[in-house]
Amino acid sequence: MKLRIGDKAPDFCLPATFNGSVCLSKYLGKNVVLAFFPLAFTNI
C-alpha cells in the first residue's frame, strides 16, 4: 500500500511499554507524531 500526502493513515496497534497495546485509531481527530528509532533499546 502506497500512501500519498493527504491520505488517511491506516490503523495499526503496537505493544505498549507497560502491558496492553496502543492503537492509532484511539487518537482519531488529534495531532499525532510518529517517531521510529530502528534498533533503539536493543543489544545489537
Proportion of the chain above pLDDT 90, given as a percent:
41
Cα dist. 20→15, 16, 32 in Å?
6, 6, 19
Give SS3 for 24: helix
* pLDDT level of residue 21 (50, 70, 90 thresholds): very high
List the grid coordinates of 5. Answer: 500526502
For the question of whether the overall pTM of this predicted structure is more than 0.85, the answer is no
The type of residue at 10 is P
**From the CB of residue 23, how many other CB atoms can be counted at a distance below 10 Å?**
13
Would you place residue 1 in the very low, low, confident or very high pLDDT band (cuts 50, 70, 90)?
Answer: confident
